[in-house]
Structure 1
Amino acid sequence: MHDSYWIRTMPPWTDRPSGEGSLPYDVCVVGGGAMGASTAYWLTQLGRRPLVLERNDTPGQGASGRNGGFMVQGANPVHAEAVELYGHDEARSLYRMTQVNQELAEAVVQRENIHGAYTRATKVDLAFDEREEAYLRESVTPLRHEGVDAFWVPRSEVAEFLGTGVGSHISGGLVRRDQATLHSTRFVLGIADAARRHGATFVCKSPVIEIVPRNQGWRVVTETQVYDVPQVVVAVNAWAPELLPDLEPFLTLIRGHLLLTEATDLRLSPWSINDTATYGRQVPSGQLLVGGMRSAVSDADIGQKPRAGESGLDTRPAIVDALRRVLPDILPTTEGLGVDYAWAGVMDFTPDRLPLAGPYPGREGLWLMVGFSGHGMPYSLALPRALAEACVEPERSTLPTVLNPTRFLG
């Protein structure tokens, strides 16, 4: 099992003495990935004292440190499909939240001096077949009405925006200029460190064993400590059913694979093919990161779970081989480019591919932020901010109703 590129190149994280046993905490955040770190950050901005409990050695080593490093706009499906699935108003609201997310990312990385974590980028969504082309073309008009710099280009013009030509089976692509890429662990650790500077306490190597109601609050139990707090935010994504078994029917665990090539002189924009869940981008070293191709196996890599104490998964040769083959098939100029290594992580998909974000029904003071369906970074600042505000003033919550956990747990 290999660590990801992001974990191999992550900045140092130094545990600081916190004296956590003697402090009263307003909120306990379970999970120190992108969502947990960001929730802690926003809670400190609202004058609260959060405690973050993270099972790994540092924040950002779970799903947040094993992804593709994209901060794109929109919900998980392409926009036209999102309109079909969720309705025009909800799809528009979700798209706007991800736009706000980018605005917040730019502001926070500048304000908190988080270097090398965030980069603006043009992204090209490639059409693999007629169905996908139709969705991408249909997305252009509503996106432009929202002020998004989006347009369709035929295959002959894709190279102008992608940086290289595409295979003959690609008919064209939806181009959006105002997207972004991340160095995932630099981003998460930067947010976490900023949260610490503003008053949050992070306790790593501290897996939570149990969360139980107590008086008018909650008791959070780890292997070595017990914390009594008024509120708890569960932000552990695929690991949530271990603490809250009622979530298991609504969170499907899926293994995701990525590989890293040798460095290339090509200079490519990020790209994706929605129907095959395949995507790629260039990392600062000049290497290409390519992920997806779950369709290469009959079980679509469903139901995979890391071993106890681990955050990654072993790779499957069939999917790694499929990723090797698909890259020159999509981008012919990468033919012969060697592969450095591959890694795998775990995602949790909800039935509608939207996260569960909001109060746990019937359990006052317990909040959920899980089920991101491989699409967490686009929400990673805006949604935690809304949830942090709801923790402080529930009656003024701006959490999107379409994400309310009551749609499954009500």
Structure 2
Amino acid sequence: MNNSYWLNTAPPFTAPTVELPAHTEMVILGAGIMGCALAYWLARAGKTPLVLERNAHPAGGATGRNGGLHVAGPGGAPYHRWADRAAARAIMQLTLRNRELLEEILEREAIQANYKRVGFMHLAQAHEAAELKALAQALNEDGFAAHWLERAEAEKKLGTSLGERYLGAVLKPDDGQFHSARYAFGVAEAARNLGARLAFSTPAQAVEPGPGGRSWLIHTPRGQCVAEQVIIALNAWAGELFPELTQTIAPTRGHIILTAPVNFTLTPWEANDDWDYGRQLETGQILLGGRRNTQPDLDLGCAPAPGENAPPLEPSVVEALAQIAPQLFPALKDVPIVQAWSGAMAFTSDWQPLAGQWPGRAGLWVLAGFSGHGMPFSLVLPQAIAAQLTGTAGEAIPSAFAPERFLKA
């Protein structure tokens, strides 16, 4: 069974039937965390957005199948390798603002998402040590917390012994972790309480210019709806409705395994040139993800079958994750693997998302392509898009995220 821990352990989500209006101001396509958060911010601004989601609950795609981590910083190239350091700094600051918003919203809306600041460790093999030390130095130069730890210090912070190939780590002390589905369910419920309309089991089947060319006509199995503004928050599924996006956003398979509980505490980490990552759950189980580098083309283009929420599991990747676990942490030797699941990420060629208005298409917006790094933007970018939609002041969206990089008028 390809079921994620997050969705298996989230509380039931009640989804009352929502009548489709013939006309509405704003429609959000997708109820992953981006769509739910955008609905939340719009509803807080007094709007009544309509969210269309093909599943019977939020977080059916990548949101409910990820690692449950909030790791600050830009995706793609490491911070110190960005040619435009000012751009990297701005993105880093945006993710730190996202963390502030996350902590604020979890408290304000009483969302029980098991959130904690626990830190995050970048484990170093010999060939990675110089690069990771340079990463820590660059972060420090720009005023961000990061520390190089020699092996003994790293093991003390980590909570267990490292495999022999690892000689230290960079610690970012303020990164966090949470229960992905509880987080998304809570934001969705808060949005609904504020007046957003969430229509589940209602997939958008087609979107085309509406009457007069100044609106958009959305087709669903339950009827049609005309909207003045449409926001695409479908991530890996965006190309199904908008074929132009298939040249820009590639569905990409990821795998995660889950061990039986262990009797030690483990700080979240990534390792092996950033191909592998993991964390510990409240149950004591260890979650490990990665090994995409063992697959042809890194599983780029490996999409879910129509109507499915994830690509099929690849047994060789599950086995590769099981094999790497004790190489990372010898204490995991002989600890059984009890669960595995896959998910569909959405990668762009530069690993940066698309966030903003579709050039030349008035009223059409894109919020997708997060390249496996969406959670650190999951509130701040929807808030920024909501500000643009409502004509209010908001965070500036980095030019590195501009849809114009790929989409032309």
TM (norm. structure 2) is 0.95
Moved more, 116-125 or 328-337: 116-125
| Root mean square deviation, CA, Å | 1.6
Q: Look up the match of 2:182.
A: 186
**Shift in Å, 1:169:** 0.9
Q: Look up the match of 1:107.
A: 104
Kept in 2, the 8 Å contact 1:281–1:288? The answer is yes
SS in 1 for 2:99: helix
Counterpart residue identity of residue 68, structure 1: G
Counterpart residue identity of residue 125, structure 2: F
Kept in 2, the 8 Å contact 1:259–1:342? The answer is yes
Distance in 2 (alpha carbons) for counterparts of 1:252 and 1:242: 11
Kept in 2, the 8 Å contact 1:359–1:366? The answer is yes
Cα separation, partners in 2 of 1:50 and 1:217, compared to 1, 3 Å: same
Describe how 1:148-159 pairs up with structure 2 within 5 A: 148-159=144-155
Kept in 1, the 8 Å contact 2:37–2:383? The answer is yes
Distance in 1 (alpha carbons) for counterparts of 2:303 and 2:33: 20
**Shift in Å, 1:352:** 0.6
CA distances 1:223-258 after superposition (whole Å, capped 9, x unpaired):
122111110110000000111111111112211000
1:177 equivalent among 173, 176, 180: 173
**Shift in Å, 1:76:** 1.5
Q: Look up the match of 1:304.
A: 302
Cα separation, partners in 2 of 1:396 and 1:323, compared to 1, 3 Å: closer
Q: Look up the match of 1:293.
A: 291
Q: Look up the match of 2:116.
A: 119
Describe how 1:344-383 pairs up with structure 2 within 5 A: 344-383=342-381
Distance in 1 (alpha carbons) for counterparts of 2:24 and 2:146: 45
**Shift in Å, 1:397:** 7.2
**Shift in Å, 1:88:** 0.4
**Shift in Å, 1:77:** 3.6
**Shift in Å, 1:370:** 0.7
Distance in 2 (alpha carbons) for counterparts of 1:26 and 1:163: 51
**Shift in Å, 1:86:** 4.9
SS in 2 for 1:390: helix
Counterpart residue identity of residue 8, structure 1: N
**Does 2:208 match 1:208?**
no
CA distances 1:18-45 after superposition (whole Å, capped 9, x unpaired):
34437x5321000000100000001111
The number of aligned residues is 406
Kept in 2, the 8 Å contact 1:37–1:195? The answer is yes
1:167 equivalent among 158, 163, 166: 163
SS in 1 for 2:15: coil
Q: Look up the match of 1:84.
A: 81
**Shift in Å, 1:108:** 0.2
Distance in 2 (alpha carbons) for counterparts of 1:102 and 1:90: 19
Distance in 1 (alpha carbons) for counterparts of 2:218 and 2:152: 57
Counterpart residue identity of residue 44, structure 1: A
Distance in 1 (alpha carbons) for counterparts of 2:153 and 2:395: 45
SS in 2 for 1:299: helix
Distance in 2 (alpha carbons) for counterparts of 1:90 and 1:225: 44
Q: Look up the match of 1:50.
A: 49
Kept in 1, the 8 Å contact 2:79–2:138? The answer is no
CA distances 1:297-334 after superposition (whole Å, capped 9, x unpaired):
33322221111111022211111111001010011111
Kept in 1, the 8 Å contact 2:20–2:225? The answer is no
Kept in 1, the 8 Å contact 2:80–2:134? The answer is no
Distance in 1 (alpha carbons) for counterparts of 2:110 and 2:42: 19
**Does 2:5 match 1:8?**
no
SS in 2 for 1:263: coil
Counterpart residue identity of residue 285, structure 2: Q
Kept in 2, the 8 Å contact 1:241–1:247? The answer is yes
Q: Look up the match of 1:39.
A: 38
SS in 2 for 1:208: coil
Q: Look up the match of 2:265.
A: 267
Describe how 1:11-30 pairs up with structure 2 within 5 A: 11-21=11-21, 25-30=24-29
Kept in 1, the 8 Å contact 2:161–2:329? The answer is yes
Kept in 1, the 8 Å contact 2:80–2:135? The answer is no
Kept in 1, the 8 Å contact 2:79–2:135? The answer is no
Distance in 1 (alpha carbons) for counterparts of 2:184 and 2:83: 30
Q: Look up the match of 1:135.
A: 131
Cα separation, partners in 2 of 1:14 and 1:170, compared to 1, 3 Å: same
Q: Look up the match of 2:337.
A: 339
**Shift in Å, 1:17:** 4.2
Distance in 1 (alpha carbons) for counterparts of 2:272 and 2:61: 24
Q: Which stretches in structure 1 are left out of the alignment for 5+ residues?
A: none
**Does 2:226 match 1:228?**
yes
TM (norm. structure 1) is 0.95
Cα separation, partners in 2 of 1:203 and 1:117, compared to 1, 3 Å: farther
Distance in 2 (alpha carbons) for counterparts of 1:395 and 1:244: 30
Distance in 1 (alpha carbons) for counterparts of 2:289 and 2:394: 39
Distance in 2 (alpha carbons) for counterparts of 1:397 and 1:145: 24
Kept in 2, the 8 Å contact 1:158–1:164? The answer is no
Q: Look up the match of 2:279.
A: 281
Kept in 2, the 8 Å contact 1:83–1:90? The answer is no
Distance in 1 (alpha carbons) for counterparts of 2:266 and 2:109: 29
Q: Look up the match of 1:98.
A: 95
Identity of aligned residues (%): 38
Q: Which stretches in structure 2 are left out of the alignment for 5+ residues?
A: none
SS in 2 for 1:267: coil
**Shift in Å, 1:295:** 1.6
Counterpart residue identity of residue 44, structure 2: Q
**Shift in Å, 1:133:** 2.3
**Shift in Å, 1:148:** 2.6
Distance in 2 (alpha carbons) for counterparts of 1:89 and 1:381: 22
Distance in 2 (alpha carbons) for counterparts of 1:277 and 1:333: 21
